[in-house]
Amino acid sequence: MTNHLPAALAPDQDELEKAGLYQALRSRGVHIRLARQSIGAKAADREEARLLDEKPKAPLLVMNRTAFDDSGRIVEYGSHAYRASRYYFETTSSTVEQAVRSCRGRQGSAPARRRMTTPLPLQHLDG
């Protein structure tokens, strides 16, 4: 799991372990408005397999996320790999009328109406 943040927002190791990333961002006045995520699968390379205690080429779930604050500024980019044997992603779909309204002005015109998948928290499977 790798997360990149603007240096001014990055918590130190102690704060990260005690509060977690998103609580640390909230304590700095950062409110995540929108996160764009892509979710997929891949075979583990040797380093990922070692770190995740899996066999090389074992299936992994992967996710890349870009999070934006209330002003549209990117506040996090994350690239994550999870053991497919222990995690799953759960999503819900909804229309994006509210998201379209919040995006106006940031990039000029609003995006075309479309369906949107809103990821929910990653679920961990025991066993």
Whether residue 111 is predicted with pLDDT greater than 60 in this model: the reply is no
Amino acid 97: pLDDT: 54
Pick the closest to residue 43 from 29, 26, 55, 25 (CA basis).
55
Confidence of residue 92 (pLDDT cuts 50, 70, 90): confident
Token pair of 121 as six digits:
């928290």
Would you say the pTM of this structure is higher than 0.85?
no
**What are the structural domains of the chain?**
2-124 (3.40.1410.10)
Query: Percent of the chain scored above 70 by pLDDT?
Result: 73
Q: How far apart are CA 90 and CA 21, in angstroms?
A: 21
Q: How far apart are CA 25 and CA 75, in angstroms?
A: 9
State mean pLDDT over 4-20: 91
pLDDT digits (tens, 9 = 90+) for 14-68: 998 999 999 999 999 999 999 999 999 999 999 999 999 999 999 999 999 999 9
Q: How far apart are CA 23 and CA 31, in angstroms?
A: 10
Q: Check if the beta carbon of residue 17 is closer than 8 Å to that of residue 55.
A: no
